[in-house]
Amino acid sequence: MHSILERLHQVVENHLSTIAFASCKEKYTYEELWRAISSVASALTKSPLNKGPVLVYGKSDFYTLASLLGANMAGYAYVPVDSHSPFARVKMIIEACTPSAIIVTLQKELDSDLKALLSQYQVLYRESFNAEKPITNLKNMVRGEDTNYIIYTSGTTGVPKGVEISHNNLLSFTEWMMHDFRQIEQNQVLLQAPFSFDLSIFSIYPALLAGGTLVSLSREETTNFKYLFARLNNTEINTWISTPSFVDICLLDPSFVQKRHRKLEQFIFCGEELTIKTAQKLLECFPEATVWNTYGPTEATGSVTQLKVTKDLLAKYDRLPLGKAKPGVEIQIHDPKRRQKLSVGERGEIVIIGNSVAKGYYQDDVKTQAVFATVDKRSVYYTGDAGKIDGTGQLFYDGRIDFQIKMNGFRIELQDIEAHLMAIAEVNKAVVLPQIDANNKVRALVAVVVPNEKVTDEKQFIKYLRKRLILEIMDYMMPQRFVLMDEFPLNRNGKTDRKLLSEKLLKV
């Protein structure tokens, strides 16, 4: 079995002038991609590095992609960090993963705090990767059980958790994507998700290992409808990969229909619930396309189930199933308290077992042991998702057993935001509640705060809370509404009664 980079090398040799990566501004061939990967790898190999991963700080652009793969070629796991993250979060990730080097692919001047932090590490800038004829050296490449990447996700204490994915995890996922979904010649594949979100692996690896083209969207395009719709109408995407929330936005554009996008043959969704409403609209607008619902957490390498969504299925269920497990994976439903397997049809925690399960959380044994295990030599991950398996083996999702939510496809631990609110001296207590609509989608977050002292100007105080929070959390985690209270209601166990608060405050 060849490694991902060995396979990519073969693809490169057969597709030298094929476009591997296209953004709105630039296009790069496979030959250029391989040259960039090799020059990153040789720059890393020249420097004296320790065993830690290589953190890559940048946007969703060509050089950032080449840096991730270049780190792997030199034998290092990569840690992708989006340059739109607040400084406090970047700092936490750097300190948590203790990188042996940091690659910065941004061309603009960095702010002074970041510069000062980076000065303590070995930093390689994009300019140093311009070798004319870099040598391909696969001797040290990442392979087998080596760690391929570490992706940091929201953590309950406010400190992100680094999910450590092995090369074998990623290879198994990639092979499944390449065999069990629709295979399209010269596949143009949408790359919507930033590299720091594991949805990006759905695009990167299956597209590149089949000689396809990654059609990348910039942050400007994903956050501005005008640019987004214009760009989409200028592309000829065959395979669409995104969260359902993202396609909901695109469906607002009347030109997002089969007649206008004739080559769009396949939609693959993951990251959050695909509602009947979205699937129905999509099949109406793209009657000839194949639509897949897939499910999985970062901790199980992208996705572990697959369901082809048809009109018949939409008529049969009021909430879409997630499908059945990929090869090498078994899914069970457990009683979350006793961690024992439940019977067909019973609701419990979704447990993923097999070759997609991550190594654990990087350098965090306590958090790893809480949700990962090895049973009969197989890796097990307790997802925290609630669900059931019916008599036909279909898996169904039914919310969470904890306080993690998905909003617009982003994974958010409500306790992460709460921890940052509580760290503000003027805040005595804080809870963050999700506002959920009739389709089970989180529409907004509401922060409920008990201040330390009586607040005279509520508007000003809330403005202050927002200003403090944005220094610590990602912008998509910012609550849409803030409510100030003198005290929280308590439940019978003496804990904050979140249910009562939700009933009181979130009535639509």
Does residue number 297 form part of the binding site for ligand AMP (CB under 6 A)?
yes
Burial class, 34, CB count within 10 angstroms (exposed 0-12 / middle 13-18 / buried 19+): buried
As separate numbers, helices (DSSP H) first and strands (DSSP E) second, the chain gives 16, 27
Nearer to ligand AMP, 63 or 403 (CB): 403
Please say which residue, 147 or 298, places its beta carbon nearer to ligand AMP.
Answer: 298
**Residue 268 interacting with ligand AMP (CB under 6 A):** no
Task: Find all residues with CB under 8 Å of 475, minimum gap 6, and list them.
Answer: 84
Site for ligand AMP in 48-107 (CB under 6 A): none
Q: Is 35 in the site for ligand AMP (CB under 6 A)?
A: no
Q: Which of 295, 372, 381, 382 binds ligand AMP (CB under 6 A)?
A: 295
Total residues in contact with ligand AMP, by rule CB under 6 A: 17
Binding residue for ligand AMP, selected from 79, 291, 322, 442, defined by CB under 6 A: 322
Tokens of 311: 């009109």
Site residues for ligand AMP, window 411-440 (CB under 6 A)? Answer: 411
Can you tell me which of 93, 270, 412, 414 binds ligand AMP, judged by CB under 6 A?
270
Least distance CB 462 / ligand AMP (angstroms) = 29
**How many Cα atoms sit within 13 Å of 485 on the Cβ side?**
16
> What sign results for the dihedral spanned by CA atoms 501, 502, 506, 508?
negative
Decide: is 164 part of the binding site for ligand AMP (CB under 6 A). no
Binding mask 332-371 for ligand AMP (x = CB under 6 A): ----------------------------------------
Q: What is the DSSP string of 387-435?
A: EEE-TT--EEEEEESSSEEEETTEEEEHHHHHHHHHTSTTEEEEEEEEE
**Greatest extent of the chain over all pairs of C-alpha atoms, in Å:** 70
The residue ranges of DSSP E strands in 205-323, in sequence order, are 213-216, 239-242, 266-269, 290-295, 305-309
Q: Of 498, 373, 369, give the one whose Cα is nearest residue 432.
A: 498
Interface with ligand AMP, residue 397, by CB under 6 A: yes
Options 385, 416, 418, 472; binder of ligand AMP; rule CB under 6 A = 385
Is the dihedral angle over the CA atoms 272, 276, 279, 282 positive or is it negative?
Answer: negative
In the complex with ligand AMP, the residue whose CB is nearer, 32 or 385, is: 385
Q: Footprint of ligand AMP on residues 167-226 (CB under 6 A)?
A: 198
- Tracing tokens 């980079």 back to the chain, one arrives at 5
By CB under 6 A, name the one of 32, 61, 175, 273 that touches ligand AMP. 273
Q: How far is the CB of 197 from ligand AMP (least distance, A)?
A: 7
Query: Residue 472: how many CA atoms within 13 Å on its side-chain side?
Result: 20
Q: Is residue 383 within the footprint of ligand AMP (CB under 6 A)?
A: yes
Segments in 98-199 forming alpha helices (H): 112-118, 167-180
Out of 153, 188, 278, 355, the only residue in the binding site for ligand AMP (CB under 6 A) is 153
- Residues forming contacts to ligand AMP in the complex (CB under 6 A) are 153, 198, 270-274, 293, 295, 297-298, 322, 383, 385, 397, 406, 411
